[in-house]
Amino acid sequence: MSWSVISTWKMSLEGNRKAGRILESHGTAGDAVLLGVQDVEDNPAFHSVGYSGLPDAGGHVTLDAGYMDGDTLEFGAVGCLEGYRSPAAIARSLIHYPYNNFLVGEGAAAYAENHGFEKRDNLTKDSAERYLRERNLNQTHSSYKGHDTVCFLARDEKGTIVSCTSTSGLYLKEHGRVGDTPLPGCGYYADSTIGAAAATGVGEEIMKGALSRAVVDLMAQGMHVQEAADKALADLKERLGENIRPISLIAMDKDGNTGVSTTLAFPFCVAKEGGDTELYLAEPSETGITSIRKIEDPSELSMD
Amino acid sequence: MSWSVISTWKMSLEGNRKAGRILESHGTAGDAVLLGVQDVEDNPAFHSVGYSGLPDAGGHVTLDAGYMDGDTLEFGAVGCLEGYRSPAAIARSLIHYPYNNFLVGEGAAAYAENHGFEKRDNLTKDSAERYLRERNLNQTHSSYKGHDTVCFLARDEKGTIVSCTSTSGLYLKEHGRVGDTPLPGCGYYADSTIGAAAATGVGEEIMKGALSRAVVDLMAQGMHVQEAADKALADLKERLGENIRPISLIAMDKDGNTGVSTTLAFPFCVAKEGGDTELYLAEPSETGITSIRKIEDPSELSMD
């Protein structure tokens, strides 16, 4: 069996390479996705995840993350967590408990403190300045900037599939707002016997469709991974109408084949056994089948 | 078209009657489910929902609730909310916003305060004493007591289907723990063109299957509501094995027909157009089809 890893946005390029190297060295899907997500969490250039994430309307950088092991369906998640380096690592650690797998706010921070997770003030000078500038411009949520969740799906050579997500959430969100990212079935899902999916975009729209579970359900019915991603998004589009807000989906079947669907131009990264990480651009097409092309030069894409 | 309402546990009997009267008087499904849930939230005899709910391991009564309108797929939800009378009412009010539909902790409380929702200290002498007694007995979560979420699904005469859920959550949960109850796709889902579902039991187990979405997906494939509820639960049982923890599901199709599936004896209430609320007991059976019988005398059932 062969390994495979897919991740959202150009910002995950280096993380995807790291995840690929873990998998190439016979590492686990769990270690691969966490390392991939952490590469983005730690990079202050990206203002939608982890360090230098944009603050909420109360000035707090609050982070959401989710992790699911497709062998056992065990998951861990944190929401509205402030002051820690890696919400994804904390989410992953929570899968080891029979209960209390999703913790939010002060309770999540207390758990992280008691378990010795690395602290970090994620509000940087840059993100604070951006927040003040944008707020003063009276920007609305309708801007898509900063909705960009990092999502990784990986399959290791043993066939285990894992999903992992991390975000600072909706642009200029209210304090206490939690999106799809830490919610099993909405922002991510993984079942090693079927496949996995994860979502980025407007969390409130993704949650209306419980979209990650919808993609996996379609694969369970025998649909090809690309077709399942396109159909799950098309079904929600049909239901919500033309005003559906931005959503992008990544998916993987149990054999490590990947699929993507999106309502707008969406860069993503894939590495597979025997190859290096490649950057792709997905775009919606009139046919309903997502158009995908390889980007040879990452600098060609202006977006993260 | 005819109205219908189904709700979880014997504790919802009076609330189901109230919901039925709303629907019989040509009221909306939204008003019906909220009134039904609030009847349970306000009753201090029930220690798993609202007033007199059991506190978490930090001594706080923190409440979770969700609400979904099946016409638009709009939802509202609160998690880990302390100090308010009706988390379900607050959840319902959140559906009117394009973003920030799921609020947790202090952010949820700030929203409730700013919007004038009724405050209430939900920790009663009775629930505080129970908490201390149970904690001293070193009870573990493995006890099923107090996992009982109230869930209502209703269809009104116009064909709108709404789901609403409310709970104080897992027995002796950690502070900050959020379960399936406020999560679309996990604790509840509603699509008036297909049907709805909601879940009670061990939230962490329900979330592994994103079970409410799974039931609705099966109905979307053309499965009968009872068959869909049984198959969604059977699929998760098969996946998790015989040690699956307690779960009970209620479901409704777009025409208002109801279905139930459960891993253990589970009382529920149904009212339909032209009839009064009836109490039923569902039990798992060897055939895989849930066995359901009407309970003529509610006092026959010792559980809530």
Residue range A135-159, pLDDT digits in tens: 777 655 544 454 689 999 999 999 9
State both tokens at A66. 């989710």
Exposed e or buried b per residue across B191-229, where buried means at least 16 C-beta atoms within 10 angstroms of its C-beta: bbebbbbbbbbbbbbbbbbbbbbbbbbbbbeebebbbbb
Indicate the pLDDT class of residue B141, thresholds 50, 70 and 90.
low
pLDDT tens per residue, range B79-110: 999 999 999 999 999 999 999 999 999 999 99
Q: Please tell me if residue A90 touches chain B, with a CB cutoff of 8 Å.
A: no
pLDDT tens per residue, range B152-195: 999 999 999 999 999 999 988 999 999 999 999 999 999 999 99
Query: Which residues have CB under 8 Å from A114's CB, separation 6+?
Result: none
Indicate the pLDDT class of residue B112, thresholds 50, 70 and 90.
very high
Min distance A250 CA to chain B CA atoms (Å): 18
Min distance B45 CA to chain A CA atoms (Å): 25
Min distance A20 CA to chain B CA atoms (Å): 27
Taking a C-beta distance cutoff of 8 angstroms, is the pair B186, A158 a contact? no
Q: Please tell me if residue B184 touches chain A, with a CB cutoff of 8 Å.
A: yes
Q: Please, what sign has the CA dihedral across residues A105, A91, A179, A172?
A: positive
pLDDT tens per residue, range A74-128: 999 999 999 999 999 999 999 999 999 999 999 999 999 999 999 999 999 998 8
Catalytic residue IDs of A: 149
Indicate the pLDDT class of residue B134, thresholds 50, 70 and 90.
confident
Q: Please, what sign has the CA dihedral across residues A95, A99, A105, A108?
A: negative
Per-residue pLDDT, A138: 62
A176·B103 Cβ contact <8 A? yes
Indicate the pLDDT class of residue A38, thresholds 50, 70 and 90.
very high
Q: Please tell me if residue B74 touches chain A, with a CB cutoff of 8 Å.
A: yes
pLDDT at B140 over 70: no
Per-residue pLDDT, A51: 94
Query: Which residues have CB under 8 Å from B20's CB, separation 6+?
Result: B3, B5, B32, B271, B276, B277
- Beta strand extents in B136-245 (DSSP E only): 150-155, 161-167, 188-191, 195-201
Tell me the average pLDDT across B204-233: 97
Taking a C-beta distance cutoff of 8 angstroms, is the pair A194, A68 a contact? no
Indicate the pLDDT class of residue B204, thresholds 50, 70 and 90.
very high
DSSP character for B40?
Answer: H
B107·A175 Cβ contact <8 A? yes
Catalytic residue among B8, B28, B62, B149: B149
- Which amino acid is residue B221, in one-letter code? Q
Q: Please tell me if residue A178 touches chain B, with a CB cutoff of 8 Å.
A: yes
State both tokens at B179. 């379960």
Which range has the worst mean pLDDT, A285-289, B136-140, B283-287? B136-140
A210·B185 Cβ contact <8 A? yes
- The closest CB to that of B178, out of A58, A102, A175, belongs to A102
ipTM: 0.96
Query: Which residues have CB under 8 Å from A137's CB, separation 6+?
Result: none
Q: Which of A161, A156, A114 is nearest to B58 (CA)?
A: A114
Q: Which of A22, A13, A14, A12 is nearest to A4 (CA)?
A: A22
Q: Locate the chain B residue with the closest alpha carbon to A76.
A: B204
CB neighbours of residue A301 within 10 Å: 15
Q: Please tell me if residue B87 touches chain A, with a CB cutoff of 8 Å.
A: no
- The closest CB to that of B174, out of A111, A141, A240, belongs to A111
Tell me the average pLDDT across A217-224: 97
Per-residue pLDDT, B137: 72
Total beta-carbon pairs less than 8 A apart between chain A and chain B: 161
Q: Locate the chain B residue with the closest alpha carbon to A192.
A: B239
What burial class does residue A222 get, using C-beta atoms within 10 Å of its C-beta: 0-12 exposed, 13-18 middle, 19+ buried?
exposed
Confidence (pTM): 0.97
For residues B128 and B141, what is the distance between their CA atoms, to the nearest angstrom?
17
Q: Between residues A288 and A32, which one has the greater pLDDT?
A: A32
Q: Please tell me if residue B223 touches chain A, with a CB cutoff of 8 Å.
A: no
> What average pLDDT does chain B have?
94
Per-residue pLDDT, A87: 98
Q: Please tell me if residue A179 touches chain B, with a CB cutoff of 8 Å.
A: yes
List of chain B residues whose C-beta atoms are within 8 Å of the C-beta of residue A214? 213, 217
Per-residue pLDDT, B133: 83
